[in-house]
Amino acid sequence: MDNNITFVRPAYFIISGFIGIPNIRYYFVFLCFIYILAVVGNTLVMTVFTLDHTLRSPKYIAVFNLAFTDLSSSSALMPKVLDISLLNHYYISYNDCMTFMFFSFTLYVMQAFNLVVLSFDRVMAIMYPLHYQMRVSHKLILSLIAFFWLFAITLMLITVGLLTRLSFCKSVIIQSYYCDHGPMYRLGCNDVTPNRTIAVMAPILILGFPLLHLKLPQNIKKEFRLEFLQCPLLSDVKGFLKLKSIFRILHLKTQTLVLIKD
């Protein structure tokens, strides 16, 4: 690549994903209705969790965060999509496009991570039913959620930040229905290797946490068996069965002695 290439930062991009699709407005009227239902439903869920003091367990904190991210992601994506499809506003400024991408990607990544937190809570509840309250605390769930938020924000800041170093001299037409990372970095004229690398690494990191989480129950099962064998209740049951066996043996011996005597 020539080092003397002129750095070009366009004033706007054109989102062309919906251009040329017949009767697309009818579909987006229905999509607008679905968006309203999502906003009302998630707002209702968060309101109930806020007002009802009995729903303050660690599990419901994760559910509240899931409803919040679902509401936020829908609100980050749908208004612009509806504006493009219904009002034919295909143009979006450079800064707005970068901001649009950051919030959309961050919130959608957090939805996946919220499911990891919820599945972790359920695994602990199944594997440690007697010690669930001690093992899964508010501090633990809040720490997991905070870590995932920090991870998602950092990853998306790097992803969007690498786009700002690109010179868009080929075209300003994004072949997608929103400011998508892949179609955007392919428009760059200078070296796109860092962008291609983060495009490959980001899905691996995002999907890696849930896939690693699937291995967690196997390790927990071993601890669960050990804890179950050491459970005081189980020891009492074992003792009772052992004592019952002793009495049965004594009873059989007594009957044998009686028969011999007779």
- Segment 181-196, tens digit of pLDDT: 888 888 888 888 888 8
Who contacts 37 (Cβ-Cβ below 8 Å, separation ≥6)?
none
CB 76 within 8 A of CB 100: yes
**pLDDT value at position 246?**
47
Question: Mean pLDDT over all residues of the chain?
Answer: 77
> Rounded distance, CA 65 to CA 115, Å?
10
- Can you tell me the mean pLDDT for 76-85? 79
Task: List pLDDT tens digits, range 104-116.
Answer: 999 989 988 898 8
CATH top-level class of 12-230: mainly alpha
Distance CA 203, CA 77 (A): 20
pLDDT higher at 95 or 8: 95
200, containing H or E segment: helix 193-229
Which class for 39: exposed (0-12), middle (13-18), buried (19 or more C-beta within 10 A)? middle
| Residue at token pair 């969007």 | 160
Question: Residue 107's Cα: distance from chain center in Å?
Answer: 9
- Phi, psi (rounded to 5 degrees) for 159: -60, -50
What is the rounded average pLDDT of the residues 69-80?
87
Tokens 């009818």 belong to which residue? Answer: 26
pLDDT number for residue 257: 43
Closest CA to 174 of 254, 111, 80: 80
Q: How far is CA 238 from CA 42, 235, 242, 251, in A?
A: 49, 5, 6, 20
- Find the angle CA(99)-CA(103)-CA(104) to the nearest 5 degrees: 110
Give yes or no for residue 220 having a pLDDT over 60.
no
